[in-house]
Structures are given as structure tokens and as C-alpha cells.
Chains A and B, each alone.
Chain A
């Protein structure tokens, strides 16, 4: 799976690649193996962007300062576009539900399952 394919998808987010996005991306590479080969890099990147984006925002913890929050927002938006481009309806819905779960828990002051667990589950549900 070539990371070069993803270059154009990392516009404005290049700095995040070295700051954990690449690790997160790699952790999803195996998870997306059951999906169409062409879609796999984008799906793995979408999941990584959601994970990193929510972390940047400080969701469930201390609120990020505004510029960092906006970077987190861009990660979520980019992930949403990648999913719209490459994922079927079921996977798009499953990913959205995962974010709804963690953000509802954060708003309630409750702990939720780790984002990665939810996204891995979403990949299984969206297949």
C-alpha cells in the first residue's frame, strides 16, 4: 500500500504525519484488508484522521486551543470526504455513529470505548 497515493490527501496536514498520524494510519492498514484494494489507503487514512482529529480537539479531555481545534476539525472533514469518495453507505454511517458515540459520551462527562476500538468495529460493520 503506497503512502504516495495519500500525498494529495495530506494537504495542510503534512505536519501531523510525523506527529502520530502515520502510526495511526499503519495501525489501520491490516483492518481495511477486506475492502477493495484501491479504497484501502483512503479508508485507513480516514480512520487515522478521525482518531488524530478527535485527539487534537481534546475531545473528552481539556479543550484544545482554537488553532488546534480547527486542525482537528479539518482532520474530521477530510476523513468525511475520503469516506464519501471511497466508502459505501454502511461504512460511512458506521463511522459517523462512532463519532456520535464518543462525542455524546464526552458531552456527558462519561468515558467511552477507545476511538480505535469503535472504528475497528465500524470497519467490521460497514463491510
Chain B
């Protein structure tokens, strides 16, 4: 809900408030360091392109400086800065969810609410897949480096090393996904109908109150945006 909120709210105050909430929650959960690293990693590639495209191509009246045919405008800088803050708030909220949610609790809770176990599993597997893929990419990068591939250094060297790195990562991920899904099939995962679950996730009053507070907050922000009370992105 926080990530959706960051998407809805323009300006700086709203997204920064969400970043503050996410970081405070991460500190309590003792995942703050990892959360910042992962969120930056997720945000950076998009942020770089957003900054380049916005600063130099967004129309504006205040020109800060000029590079060749491109004018860097104040409006472009403002738009880029607000977008980057929002992106960080969104990736932070998603990362916090991934790092603090027990996949089993997530699957069982979705199923308890009437969703198909298949959908619930896909959702949990997606959350789980990111660290596994990062770990695999590290192994493949080390293997490629040991065979002389240059994966560090300048932009050109990194670009040249990207393809031999990403192809095995994607192919091995696909193979793993296929084997994982077959292993689940032979455990009757595709069988329709309800399951008698062995365990139900706890749902304390405080958690329910917090969930409802977040939901109400999201609805209020969305209503405020429609009514013109919440700032829009320039």
C-alpha cells in the first residue's frame, strides 16, 4: 500500500514521508542496511535514465546549462528529483515487504482469503526469486571472470561483458523455474479444490489496525489527489 501511495502522491513531502516510514520499519526489523542497498540497486538503473531524459528533454523556461543541442532545465531537474524520490519510496516499500514477510505466511494468508494456491505460490515465488537470481548472477559473473571476461571497469567494458553474463543467468533461471514447477506438479500442486492447511499465520489486533490504517490512508491520498488537495508531479 505504501508503494501505491508513493505512486499516487506527487511533490516531495508525501514520498519522503513514505521513505521515512519504510526506513523506520526497516530499522525495527533490523534490515535497514540491506534494504537501502537493494532499493538503491533497484532504483539506480531507472533513475539514471529518468534523470538523463528528464533533465535534457523536458521543456522549461529556466535553462540551467546547455550541452550541444540539449538544454538542461530547472523544470526537468525538479521532475527528475521528484521521480527518483518516488521510485526509491516504491522500491523501498516493495523490498521491505520481501525482506520482512514470511513466504509461507503470505501464501497461506492469500489462500485463506480465497485466492488459488497457484496464484499465491507465484506471488511468493516472485518475492523469493530476486535474491536467488542475484546469487546466481554472482556465481556466473565469477565463472565468466575466471575465463577472462571483463565485467568491471568502464561503461564500454561493462556493456561488452553484459551479454555473456545475462544470457546464462536468464537461461539457468528458466531451467530452474521449469524444474521447480515440475517438482511441484508431482506433488499434486495442480489439483483443484481447497486444502486443509496445517498452519495459519497469526494476525494480531495491532497488525489488523495497521493494515486498515494504511488502507484508509491510501484511499484518503487517492481521494485527495482526485480533489486536487494532494500535489501532482510537475
A complexed with B: no
Which B residues fall within an 8 A CB radius of A? none
Residues of A within 8 A of B (CB): none
